Structures are given as structure tokens and as C-alpha cells.
Amino acid sequence: MTATVDAAGRRGGVLVVDFGAQYAQLIARRVREASVYSEIVPHDISATRVRDRRPAGLILSGGPESVHTSGAPRLDPEILSLGIPVLGICYGAQLLAHELGGKVDRSGLAEYGRVELHVTGPGTVVSADLPADQQVWMSHRDAVVRPPEGAAVTAVTADSPAAAFEHPAGLFGVQFHPEVAHTPHGQRMLENFLYEACCCAPAWTPDCIVETSVAAIRAQVGAGRAVCGLSGGVDSAVAASLVREAIGDRLTCVFVDTGLMRAGESDQVRETFGGDGFVFVDAADRFLAALAGVADPEAKRRIIGELFVRVFEAEARALGDVDFLVQGTLYPDVIESGGDVAARIKSHHNVGGLPADMRLELTEPLRNLFKDEVRLVGEQLGLPPEVVWRHPFPGPGLAVRIVGEVTRERVETVRAADAIVRAEIHRAGLGRDVWQVLAVLLEVRSVGVMGDERTYGHPIVIRAVTSADAMTADFARLPYDVLETMASRIVAEVSGVNRVAYDITSKPPGTIEWE
């Protein structure tokens, strides 16, 4: 059975059945890292739907429940008779054992954290070429004590007599988590399942993604015309490039300069997308006028969102017969919004809430992709590295990095500081190690001394975070000398700033942006 991917990129590949796991998204990412397409589906998916999707394999995720609890999530039993290879992870493995004549117990067998795994027999997933003793990551209270009928145990731990098992019918179970970094050979085990058990080819590569996306866009848009709001960020840039590749000059990109952009951003966008099919709207004066005297963060966001929509809508109307609106919605947004309907509401929100009477159909070429895949596609399409590797930037721009009122002068202050922190992080070669680095301007003032003179200026806060998806984040452990260079340059080069602080709050409890 070879994984095939259709024009919409949906068929074939592997379905990750979500039993409420912390790690379902991570499993899907790991599968994609093995160049195999994957999608997350809910555990109540029917056997008919699974068959219609023609997956090359199924991975049953972990989950918080016990198979012995009434109401615990189950799988449509017919799914296990479809002849599709299945890998159960943690709860998924327990479910296989429970449903197929094995035994799951809760009797002091809980294991949490790093555990030593001992390989007892040659297997497909826990293969003979892996070390006989290795570390794996466990997080379970129940344990499989007897594998499904007809299955052989391939690995044990001190407390798990069936830590890995395999059934000749193509059913595999692992009590541990191969998807986390703490299981050093986990990726190899997943690849064994994908390549050996499911016979998947590592075909989900950037050129395949581009090809399938372009075909899907052509199928959707036909001879129609599309418009795309460019923000300067990587998502809208890659989405626009894909659509341009698909329909050429029937796409018009609209860039609204709100006056709240990062240094050089407008020029960068103009350089990359300028020419035919590009509209540049300088609305800086309108945005700054609308924000005058406003200090409340939510009020700022509302004002910017509404004005953005008005400006964008006027441009779209001026273009005439446009049928499609291109948006850079990503797969995690789709998963987190809990399905197609909710996802649509969120995507409208991406451009600040488009009016219902706009009558544009959405084209979302990135809705099956993770952020790292978007960057690979950007590279494949030849976008400049400064665009592809640019850090995320919020729609309301620098306004939400200025605590208090937004004035032209304060925008310039925070913009200059932001340019310095970004330049220094890239000079230190750390640009790709952090999710985002930014500068925040505060209203308070403090006393300092410069060149024997007393100063009474404002502080800039540097914020740098590491993150996989911005849902959670940790403050980046930047080297002191990089922080020192940033701080000295900011105080020396940005007028009105005499102090620099580093934000060491994680998310939660903080958010990444200050407002």
C-alpha cells in the first residue's frame, strides 16, 4: 500500500486519531517530518469515513482516560477490520489490547518520565537495529499486561510487561511516547511504522506540497479572480506566492501600510510583490488619527481592526469582479478551532472581521500546513530568506507594543528599538532559535545618567521567546553579551530611552505581546 496524496493533499498519508492527547499535534508533525502526509481526526470517526479517506495507516494517540472507565473514548470497531496498519500509542495501545483480547491493568504500574526500555524480540516498529536497551518517555497509569490475542511482545520495561507489541495483522502498540524528544529513537520507530508497516513513500516534500497546493487552488478558483491582504508576515506572503503561482495575474495583493509596521517592512513587501497585481495603500495618517488619545489595549485592537477592514474593503471593491479572498490560515488554527465551521469564523477574524456582505469565498492554501512547512514552501517558491524566516508580527502591529497612547513619536521609538533587537538577534545567529524577539515601550519614566547628565526617560522591554506554535512559550535564555549589546545600542541610539529590561515571563501566565 503506497501513500497517495490527491490534489487537495487529503487522501493517503496517515490519519492520527485523537483520543484527547496532549501530543496529537506533535504526532502529526513528526509524521510530516518523515515526509508523509498526516491529518488529525476525532476518535468518533466512522469506519466508512476512514475507508473513504484511503489512509495508508492509522495512529491512535494517547489520551487522559482509562479504557475501564465507562464513557471512555472508543474506536468504531470496524476500523480495525479495514486491513489498514494501526499503531496505538499509550492509550491507543491500551485500547488495542482491550478490544482485541489482551488485558489492561491499573495495579501500581504507573510510569512517568524517562524509563529504560529493553527490546525482547525483533519487530517492525521497535526494530532489531535499535539498541537493545534504550530510554523512552512514559506517561501512564494503566498498562498493557497482556497484548492482543496473537500479538507478540517486542519490548518491556521494569513495570510494563508489554511496553511494545506487534500483531501479524499489522497492529502495533507502544506504551511509551515515540513522538517526544525524550524518546531518542522514537522518530526512527515512527518511520519504521510509516515506511515498513504502511509502505509509505517519503513523498510529502516541499515540491510535492507546492504541486498539490497549486492544483487545489486552480481547482477552486477556476477562471476567477482573487485578492489577498498582505501583512508582511510569512503566512500571507507564502499564501500569496502559492496563489500567484496558480493563477498568475488574476491575483491582486493589497498591502495596507497602517504606519504601525516594523522598520523596512513596507519596502520589503513592495520589493517582493510589487509590480502588476500589487496595490499599496498608505493609510498611516488615518490609523494614527484614529488611535489618538486611546490607551486601552482592546480599544486599540478594535479601532485598528475596523479601519483595516474599511480600507481593505474599499480597495477590493475598487478592483471590481473579485470572487476569492486568500488567507494564510494554518493547520493549527484549523485544529484549534475544532472543525471547518469554527475555522471559518477564525479566518475572518484574521483580517479583522470581514463584513458578511463582502461575498468573497475564502481560499486558504495553507490550511493543511504547519508553520515549519509554510517556511519550506516559501523557500521552495524562492521567496527571500528575510521574508521566509521573518518573525511573526501581530495584525495591530507596533500599537500593541506601546503601552499607553500611540503617537507618531512613540511608534518611531519602538520601531527603532525593534530594529535593533532584531538586527542583533540575527547577527548572533539566533534568529531561527527564537520564535520571536520584540521591543515594548513603556509609559513609566526612570532616572539615569548619560555623559554626566541626568536623564529622565522611558524604558524599553526586550521580549524574546521560544515556542513551537505560540500557544505556549518560554522566555529565551539569550546570552548576556547579546542582551548587553542590544541594551547599549538602544540607549545610545534611540532617543528618549534610558533603560532596558528583559522580560522573563513565560506564556502562560504572560502572553507574548504585551497588549
Which one of 106, 188, 218, 507 is in contact with ligand XMP (CB under 6 A)?
507
Distance CA(368)–CA(388), nearest Å, equals: 18
* Least distance from ligand XMP to the Cβ atom of residue 433, Å: 15
Find the catalytic residue in 39, 43, 90, 228.
90
310 binds ligand XMP (CB under 6 A): no
* Least distance from ligand XMP to the Cβ atom of residue 388, Å: 16
472 binds ligand XMP (CB under 6 A): no
For 203-297, strand residue ranges (E) read 226-230, 251-257, 278-282
Binding-site size for ligand XMP (CB under 6 A) equals 10
- Grid cell of 147 as nine digits: 497484548
Is the CB of 62 or the CB of 395 nearer to ligand XMP?
395
Distance CA(34)–CA(198), nearest Å, equals: 13
Number of Cβ within a 10 Å radius of residue 200? 29
Is the distance from CB of 33 to CB of 14 less than 8 angstroms?
no
Site for ligand XMP in 14-33 (CB under 6 A): none
DSSP 47: H
Find the catalytic residue in 98, 167, 177, 458.
177
- Chain mean position to CA 372: 7
Is the CB of 61 or the CB of 436 nearer to ligand XMP?
436
- Grid cell of 343 as nine digits: 475555522
* 177: phi then psi, degrees, rounded to nearest 5: -105, 100
Which one of 2, 22, 446, 511 is in contact with ligand XMP (CB under 6 A)?
511
Is the CB of 22 or the CB of 472 nearer to ligand XMP?
472
Is the CB of 388 or the CB of 512 nearer to ligand XMP?
512
Stretch that binds ligand XMP, among 71-79, 81-89, 492-500, 506-514 (CB under 6 A): 506-514
Distance CA(37)–CA(29), nearest Å, equals: 9
Stretch that binds ligand XMP, among 209-217, 327-335, 421-429, 507-515 (CB under 6 A): 507-515
| Site string (390-409) toward ligand XMP, x via CB under 6 A | --x-xxx-------------
Is the distance from CB of 332 to CB of 326 less than 8 angstroms?
no
Stretch that binds ligand XMP, among 162-170, 262-270, 389-397, 493-501 (CB under 6 A): 389-397
Is the CB of 73 or the CB of 395 nearer to ligand XMP?
395
Q: For this structure, is 177 an active site residue? A: yes
Is the distance from CB of 62 to CB of 23 less than 8 angstroms?
yes
* 296: phi then psi, degrees, rounded to nearest 5: -70, 130
Q: How many CA atoms lie within 13 A of 302 on its CB side?
A: 6
* Least distance from ligand XMP to the Cβ atom of residue 426, Å: 17
Is the CB of 121 or the CB of 392 nearer to ligand XMP?
392
DSSP 71: T
Is the CB of 170 or the CB of 394 nearer to ligand XMP?
394
CB contact set of 108 (below 8 Å; sequence gap of 6+): none
Is the CB of 310 or the CB of 349 nearer to ligand XMP?
349
Find the catalytic residue in 39, 111, 179, 191.
179
Q: How many CA atoms lie within 13 A of 167 on its CB side?
A: 25
232 binds ligand XMP (CB under 6 A): no
Is the distance from CB of 263 to CB of 419 less than 8 angstroms?
yes
Is the distance from CB of 142 to CB of 19 less than 8 angstroms?
no
512 binds ligand XMP (CB under 6 A): yes
513 binds ligand XMP (CB under 6 A): yes
Residue 469: which of 384, 381, 372, 398 has the closest Cα?
372
Long-range contacts of 43-51 (CB under 8 A, 24+ apart): 43/17, 43/18, 43/19, 43/73, 43/74, 43/75, 44/73, 44/76, 45/15, 45/17, 45/76, 45/79, 46/76, 47/76, 47/78, 47/79, 47/81, 47/82, 50/15, 50/76, 50/79, 50/82, 50/84, 51/82
72 binds ligand XMP (CB under 6 A): no
End-to-end CA separation in angstroms for the chain: 51
Which one of 25, 124, 252, 436 is in contact with ligand XMP (CB under 6 A)?
436
* Least distance from ligand XMP to the Cβ atom of residue 512, Å: 3
Stretch that binds ligand XMP, among 3-11, 46-54, 388-396, 487-495 (CB under 6 A): 388-396
47 binds ligand XMP (CB under 6 A): no
Which one of 169, 468, 470, 483 is in contact with ligand XMP (CB under 6 A)?
470
Is the CB of 161 or the CB of 397 nearer to ligand XMP?
397
* Least distance from ligand XMP to the Cβ atom of residue 281, Å: 18
Q: For this structure, is 484 an active site residue? A: no
236 binds ligand XMP (CB under 6 A): no
Stretch that binds ligand XMP, among 95-103, 322-330, 366-374, 387-395 (CB under 6 A): 387-395
Q: For this structure, is 90 an active site residue? A: yes
Question: β-pairing, 453-466 with 436-441?
Answer: antiparallel
Q: By CB neighbour count within 10 A (0-12 exposed, 13-18 middle, 19+ buried), where does 239 fall?
A: buried
* Least distance from ligand XMP to the Cβ atom of residue 110, Å: 34
Is the CB of 109 or the CB of 253 nearer to ligand XMP?
253
Q: Which residues are catalytic?
A: 90, 177, 179
Which residues of the chain form contacts with ligand XMP (CB under 6 A)?
392, 394-396, 436, 470, 507, 511-513
